[in-house]
Amino acid sequence: MRTNMFNRRKWRQATMYAVGSVKVKLLLSCCIVFALLAFTTRTPSFVGWKNRSDALYKSSLPKKGYALLINTWKRNDLLKKSISHYASCPGLQSIHIVWSEPDPPSDSIIKYLNHVVQLHSKDGREIELKFDINKEDSLNNRFKEIKDLKTDVVFSIDDDIIFPCASVELAFSVWQSANDAMVGFVPRVHWVDESKGDQGNFVYGGWWSVWWTGTYSMVLSKAALFHKKYLSLYTYEMPASIREYVTKNRNCEDIAMSFLVANATGAPPIWVKGKIFEIGSTGISSLGGHSEKRTECVNRFVAEFGKMPLVSTTVKAVDSRNIWFW
Ligand SMILES: *[C@@H]1O[C@H](CO)[C@@H](O)[C@H](O)[C@H]1NC(C)=O
């Protein structure tokens, strides 16, 4: 009896294995046939499908696009590169340059940028270019309210990183599904420091923490889309002590914005997959002591808000056309 059962089980395993290997072989041959089709024949209908999916996607993009809100400081060459790139993106409606240098922009850079913008203003699209000139040099300048903004959403960006238009359009379409959320490319995380008791002490985690845990609770405003209403909330509604802290420490305006949006929505931000090209070489994040300063900011803002508003998540948005296996 026992041997009988044993044999039967063995037999079943053998057949399962056989069926499995047939499936694997079938799948492999399908892959090979498909690859051959794709690479050798390049039939028009195969190429046609790609074009069709692009056309389908483009036709669904709304007329009303996004505004570029770019923060720059004494790096005219980077500014030129960035603007030249983003002006070519189809959804871009206007460009707002946050200028906080002591000297106003030179005639030559104004001329250059106007030329670039004109070059891409065709097919009925007119890109607006504006400098927002500030007397005081404060990181809060980047979140000033923009008067007469025609779009609902701004794409806030630093002058030293570039994202391909396809990545920006993806983030824009994610934002359209979640108008209140902050949608961005650079995630960061916070957690409770358990060695310091169970409340009140939070730690700021950089990219490696996000990578290790797959969890994030902020997206940085150096590369994020958000509704323009948050600009006026930041400038007029948020406690002035937070803006003063940002000005004094020359840091953490992005964390403050993440707190503000999380407090308003009670929801996490959305991380979108995008290709990043860094065109500048130095940034404050490469200086020492950066993460301690950021941790200080988080704890300070928790005290100001009277709670920890940030919400963690593990969700990431990707372009499904680039994913083959579901
Ligand atoms: C947080 O949100 C609440 C409820 O919307 C609001 O009353 C409060 O002023 C916000 N706090 C800050 C610091 O913005």
Of 44-48, 138-142, 189-193, 200-204, which range is least confident?
44-48
Q: How far is the CA of 150 from the centre of ligand 1 (A)?
A: 27
238 lines ligand 1 (CB under 6 A): yes
In this predicted structure, the answer to whether residue 287 has a pLDDT above a threshold of 50 is no
Distances (CA, A) of 322 to 37, 60, 166, 307, 314: 19, 18, 11, 40, 20
**pLDDT bracket for residue 34 (50, 70, 90):** low
For residue 63, which amino acid is it? Answer: K
> With contact defined as beta carbons under 8 Å apart, do 68 and 128 qualify?
no
Query: What average pLDDT does the segment 104-115 reach?
Result: 94
pLDDT band at 148 (very low <50, low <70, confident <90, very high): confident
List the one residue out of 144, 204, 173 whose CA is nearest residue 60.
173
Asked if pLDDT for residue 198 goes beyond 70, the answer is no
User: Considering only CA atoms, which of 108, 156, 148, 155 is closest in space to residue 130?
Assistant: 148
Residue 190 CB neighbours (<10 A): 24
Question: pLDDT > 90: what percent of the chain?
Answer: 64
Instruction: Note whether 69 and 155 are within 8 A (CB).
Output: yes
Among 260, 295, 70, 26, residue whose Cα is nearest residue 163? 70
Kindly report the protein residue whose alpha carbon is nearest to atom 5 of ligand 1.
Answer: 264
Check residue 325 and give its pLDDT: 75
User: Does the C-beta of 256 come closer than 6 Å to ligand 1?
Assistant: no
Report which ligand 1 atom has the smallest distance to the Cα of 309.
Answer: 1
Nearest CA to ligand 1 atom 13: 305
Using pLDDT thresholds of 50, 70 and 90, give the confidence band for residue 4.
Answer: low
CA 10 → CA 1, 2, 45, 174, 216, distances in Å? 14, 12, 48, 51, 48
Answer whether 263 contacts ligand 1 (Cβ < 6 A): yes
**Residue count (the chain):** 326
User: Is the minimum distance from the CB of 239 to ligand 1 under 6 angstroms?
Assistant: yes
Residues 322, 274 contacting (CB under 8 angstroms): no
Helix, strand, coil distribution of the chain in percent, nearest 5: 50, 15, 35
Residue 197 has a pLDDT of 62
CB 183 within 8 A of CB 270: yes
In the prediction, which pLDDT does 324 show? 80
Atom of ligand 1 nearest to the CA of 239: 13
Measured from the CA of 304, which atom of ligand 1 is nearest? 13
Predicted model pTM: 0.80
Task: Give the model's confidence band at 193: pLDDT under 50 very low, under 70 low, under 90 confident, else very high.
Answer: confident
Confidence of residue 121 (pLDDT cuts 50, 70, 90): confident
Active site residue 254: yes
Exactly one of 158, 159, 160, 254 is catalytic; name it: 254
pLDDT value for 161:
93
Q: Look at residue 31 in the predicted model and tell me its pLDDT.
A: 57
Ligand 1, atom 1, lies closest to the CA of 263
Determine the pLDDT at residue 49: 61
pLDDT attached to residue 199: 55
How many angstroms does the Cα of residue 229 sit away from the middle of ligand 1?
14
Give the chain's mean pLDDT.
85
Q: Lowest-pLDDT range, 5-9, 204-208, 319-323?
A: 5-9
Cα separation, 269 vs 231, in Å, equals 16
Task: Quote the pLDDT of residue 185.
Answer: 97
Would you say residue 8 has pLDDT above 90? no
Q: Is the pLDDT of residue 56 over 90?
A: no
Helices (H) and strands (E) in the chain, counts: 10, 13
> What is the Å distance from ligand 1's center to 294 Cα?
22
Q: Which of 241, 263, 300, 310 to mutate to test the pocket of ligand 1 (most atoms within 8 A of CB)?
A: 263
Cα(27)–Cα(261) distance, integer angstroms: 47
Q: Which atom of ligand 1 is nearest to the CA of 242?
A: 13
Mean per-residue pLDDT for 141-153? 94
Q: Which DSSP letter does residue 105 get?
A: P
Instruction: Decide if 213 contacts 203 (C-beta within 8 A).
Output: no
How does pLDDT run across 158-190, given as a tens digit for each residue?
999 999 999 999 999 999 999 999 999 999 999
Q: With b meaning 16 or more CB within 10 Å and e meaning fewer, what string describes 133-148?
A: eeeeebbbbbbbebee
Closest to 79 (Cα-Cα) out of 160, 138, 140: 160
DSSP 211-229: HHH--BSEE-TTEEEEETH
Is the CB–ligand 1 distance for residue 20 below 6 Å? Answer: no
227-267 pLDDT, tens digit per residue, is 999 999 999 999 999 999 999 999 999 999 999 999 999 99
What was the pLDDT predicted at 74? Answer: 87
